[in-house]
Structure 1
């Protein structure tokens, strides 16, 4: 079955689209990547999305127009990836505007989680004239889960197992990690694990916008960070912050690691030069991943044998060097070496999650999100 996968992450730089084919066993499918495309968001649309995602007060009419614009751009990416309309199903994550994990309120009472992925699913189905599966987080949240990350079970199905534990790290706006049990030995029966580590590109990209006066969206290849020196004292202090010390299941987004958080961190790095500040923010991404891996011993788990890296941050050479230096004893390799291009991994995941929805197969796991049970993810919209 051919499926289109559409994904726009926390970085909000555009829509990644893949056309994939799935067959065979539902839990361990045979898959092939037929085509991929990327459609960057127009500058004005991206500014409006980021403003809303930072909590800026917005009229209801503007929310409606933004949802329509996002939906139209998702359709544009789908058409660019599959101009012949050969896919019979579409899986679309939508654009995350706000994510609120389960927590306790000020009185200590538990509060359910909620998450908003902006998209007009029925409209997208009508434009593409194909069924669309969307709103993937809602069912997990309704069962008391974090609603994220939703990629680990799909990761395990797509890249498979090796003889030791394998990690897959995604470096999008947020860094999330998947731990896949080995194919043999006593740990083979342990569940797949995964969580959001903390910021990946979100703070780096925002900082680059500040330092370039809005001319640059990202630190291309980590060039600016490579010119600076990591400031160890603030970095060590940051690693003691509550989210970084929190045990999984945990998830996060721009509501925690956004513009206000960047402003606070940059103030703490003054009067250092911009290059040193960028180097320290880049090191933070690698350091939170390394710290999470070091804490695996608390779960009576060994370090993974290798860490496969995907996402846009894979192209940041300085970040990759920091990961290799801080994640001692791990082989760090790009997902491209496994036939899964680093920029397309998450779109491929949502293509698979849509196929799983079609086959009535669960896409989440209590060991990852903390939900009461596994369930089928997504809502299906048919063309009118």
Structure 2
């Protein structure tokens, strides 16, 4: 089956689209990436998404306008990737505005998590004239899970296994890790693991936007960070914060690592040169990943033999150098080397999740999200 996958991440920089052919066993499919495309959000739309996602007050009418604009950009990316309409099915993540993991109330009552991926599913199905699977997190959240990350189980299916534990790191707005058990030996029966480590590009991008007065949305290639020196003492203090001490399952987003969090960290660095501040934020993103990997040894968990890196942050050379420096003993390389394009990987995941929905195959993993049991993910809507 040919499936179109659409992904717009927490960086809110645009939509990645892929056309994938999938066949064979659900848990170990044969896949071919036929085509990919990326479509940037217009600057004004990105600013609206980030403002609403950071809690800026708005009207119901404005939210409806925003959801329609997001949906139409998703449709435009789909047409750009698949102009002939080859796909039989579309999997679309939507645009995350807010994510709240399960938590306990002041009275001790356990509250279910909730997550908002803005999209008008029926409108997208109508614009593309094909069935759309969307709202992938809701079922896992209803089962008491985190609703995220959803990519680890799909990563394992797409990448397959090797002789030892394999780690895949996605550097989007948030850094998330997947740990895939080996194909042989006693650990082959272990479950796939995965969790959100903390910020990857979110704080760096917001800082660059603030320092450049909106002229730059990211530190292109990590050039500014390369000119500065990071504050190691400050990074060590930040690593002691509550989220980084949590054990998986755990998930997060801009609600925790957004503008308010950046403001606090910039106050900690007040008086330092801008290049030093960007260097510290970049090194911090690498340090949260390294700390989580080092904790595996404390849990008597074998360390992975390699770390594959995907996502926009893999193009930040300074961030990659920091990962290399801090994740000692790991072979670090981009996922592109295994023919899993860094930029397209998450869109491919949502194509696979849509195909799994079509097959009735569960898309979540309780060992990762903490849900009560496995479930088929997503809601299907057909064109009218």
Q: How many residues align?
A: 384
Aligned-pair CA distance for 1:150:
0.2
Q: Shift of residue 26 of structure 1?
A: 1.1
TM-score (norm 1): 0.99
Deviation at 1:213, TM superposition (A): 1.2
> Structure 2: how far apart are the matches of 1:381 and 1:178?
30
**Shift of the alpha carbon at 1:117?**
0.2
Q: What residue number does 1:33 align with? A: 33
Q: What SS is found at the alignment partner of 1:24?
A: strand
Q: Deviations over 1:94-127 (max 9, x none)?
A: 0001000001122332111000000000110011
Question: What are the within-5 Å matches in structure 2 for residues 1-384 of structure 1?
Answer: 1-384=1-384
Local SS of the residue matching 1:247: coil
Report the Cα distance in structure 2 between the residues aligned to 1:234 and 1:214, rounded to whole angstroms. Answer: 27
Q: Give the CA deviation at 1:298.
A: 3.4
The separation in 1 between residues aligned to 2:107 and 2:12, in whole angstroms, is 35
How big is the shift at 1:300? 2.2
Distance 1:197 1:104 in 2: 21
Q: Cα offset for 1:135?
A: 0.1
Q: Distance in 1 between matches of 2:105 and 2:344?
A: 37
Give the Cα separation in 1 of the matches to 2:340 and 2:162: 16
Gaps of 5+ in 2: none
**TM-score, structure 2 as length reference:** 0.99
Runs (5+) with no aligned partner, structure 1: none
Residue 272 of structure 1 aligns to a residue in which SS? coil
Shift of 1:274: 0.4
